[in-house]
Structure 1
Amino acid sequence: MNITITDSAQEYLSGLLDKQGIEGMAVRMFIQQPGTPYAETCLAYCRPDEVNETDEILNLPKLKVFIEKNSVAFLDEAFVDYATEKMGGQLTIKAPNAKMPKVTPDSPIEDQINYVLYSDVNPGLAAHGGEVKLVEVIEGGVAVLQFGGGCQGCSAVDLTLKEGVEKTLIEKVPGLTAVKDSTDHTVTDNAFM
């Protein structure tokens, strides 16, 4: 795990923690909706009773940072800095792998699927105003997907699902056996026909 939190950011965050007046207060770092175009890097207070045993711990000179297990791969190469400005200061968080993490054959199947959807599938669907996202992986290695934008209600969605998305995912994600569409295609408001 390669996360950089500069001295100025540590100083700033440590000051915020001290103001909370709670012994053992730390910082939690995580990604909301990791591996998607909507990924957001977050820092939050972490009380001692909110620590999960699966958290990765980053012990820094001025503070302790708990990293959610599911966010670790997405936070690789993250950089947190604090710059003082005339009107106060600015905390900056950059996580270049939040939307598209580095994946390996050992990465969880969900991460591998999201990576292929984000890098290979969605750029092609975007030409029609569409997108697809992973809802869950169910027993038997079946990915449940949800189409949105111009794909929802599109008359060619079955062909896109079987010949495009499923073929690509099964080819690139070991252990995946099939895909299933959870989208309600009776809604055709924005459909690309």
Structure 2
Amino acid sequence: MINISESAQTHFRKLIEREALPGLGVKLAAVNPGTARADVRLEFAEPGDLQGDEWAIDCEGFTLWLDAASVNYLDGAEIDYETGTTGGQLQIRAPKIKGEVPSDSASLVERVRWVVDNEINPQLAAHRGHVAVQEVTADGAVILRFGGGCHGCGMADVTLKQGIEKTLLEKVPGVTAVRDATDHETGDAPYIPRDVA
């Protein structure tokens, strides 16, 4: 499931011994898993810090606790500690942390959400914006709600038609249209105000 190199185990063991706290271990969790913003959080954990549903991986001299909700995203992760001339560096590789591209047999909703979360929203984040999938209708229409800098933005229609709709029609077979359900009049921090565009 998770591969922890000998050098990483030695590194953790030294740090834990230095702290000298009974039962101290290391906890690994995925933050924002399944999204383009996914990352790994690694921290020391005492028994009282645990929720009780963590998975325990026994290492020599300590326990690595794996956050239960992160298990699928951290499956196949590798933790290594590489030493160099200027010191050492801990490296964590978690190939599934951003999720896995849904198969062609996955539901239309799953495939749309994947493209929105992993391709569209990272681009909109450059303008402090994002979209959320409100609904995918039986006939393949995707209904979106704009948020952040896109809510009330004067360029939201262009973003919808020339960016989002084009991407979804191209990358997600079964999508027939993309519609905006956002009340743009209520946007309080648009990237480009509507009266300017």
TM-score range (shorter-chain normalised) is: 0.5 to 0.7
Aligned CA distance change for structure 1 residues 156 and 190 (closer, same or farther; 3 Å) = closer
Deviation at 1:9?
A: 0.2
Within a 5 Å distance, the mapping from 1:61-100 to structure 2 comes to 61-98=60-97, 100=98
Partner of 1:139: none
Q: Could you tell me which amino acid in structure 2 is paired with residue 13 of structure 1?
A: F
Deviates more, 1:42-51 or 1:68-77: 68-77
Instruction: Work out whether 1:147 is the aligned partner of 2:147.
Output: yes
C-alpha separation in 1, matches of 2:12 and 2:48: 19
Q: Which has the larger radius of gyration?
A: 2
Residues 78 and 95 in structure 1, CA contact (< 8 A), matched pair in contact too? yes
Q: Distance in 2 between matches of 1:113 and 1:65?
A: 35
Tell me by how many angstroms 1:189 deviates. Answer: 3.1
Give the C-alpha shift of residue 73 in structure 1.
1.9
Residues 152, 8 of structure 1: alpha-carbon distance in 2 compared, 3 angstrom cutoff:
same
Q: How does 1:16-95 map to 2 (within 5 A)?
A: 16-95=15-94
Give the aligned partner of residue 135 of structure 2.
Answer: none
CA distance in 1, matches of 2:59, 2:181: 44
The CA deviation at 1:186 is: 3.3
Q: Summarize deviations over 1:81-130 as a string: whole Å, max 9, x none.
A: 011222221111112222x213779xxxxx9886443235437x559957
Cα displacement (A) at 1:154:
2.6
Could you report, residue by residue, the CA deviation over 1:136-158 in whole angstroms, capped at 9, with x for unpaired residues? xxxxxxxx966345x23234648
Unaligned runs of 5+ in 2: 104-109, 133-143
Q: Distance in 2 between matches of 1:115 and 1:87?
A: 40
State the partner residue of 1:141: none
CA root-mean-square deviation: 4.2
Q: Distance in 2 between matches of 1:166 and 1:116?
A: 7
Give identity over the alignment, percent: 24
Q: Distance in 1 between matches of 2:183 and 2:50?
A: 34
Q: How many residues align?
A: 169
Deviation (angstroms), 1:41: 1.1
Distance 2:126 2:147 in 1: 12
Q: In 2, distance between residues paired with 1:74 and 1:147?
A: 27
Partner of 1:102: 100
Match of 2:191 among 168, 179, 189: 189
Contact 1:14/1:62 (CA < 8 Å) preserved in 2? yes
Q: 1:55: how far off?
A: 1.0
For 1:60 and 1:157, how far apart are their aligned partners in 2?
A: 52
TM-score, with structure 2 as normaliser: 0.63
CA contact (8 A) 2:8 2:79 kept: yes
Q: Distance in 2 between matches of 1:73 and 1:32?
A: 13
Task: Tell me the distance in 2 between the aligned counterparts of 1:74 and 1:81.
Answer: 18
> One-letter code of the match for 2:21?
I
Match of 1:13, SS? Answer: helix
Q: Residue 114 of structure 1 contacts residue 133 of structure 1 at CA under 8 Å; is this kept in 2? A: no
Deviation at 1:181, TM superposition (A): 6.1
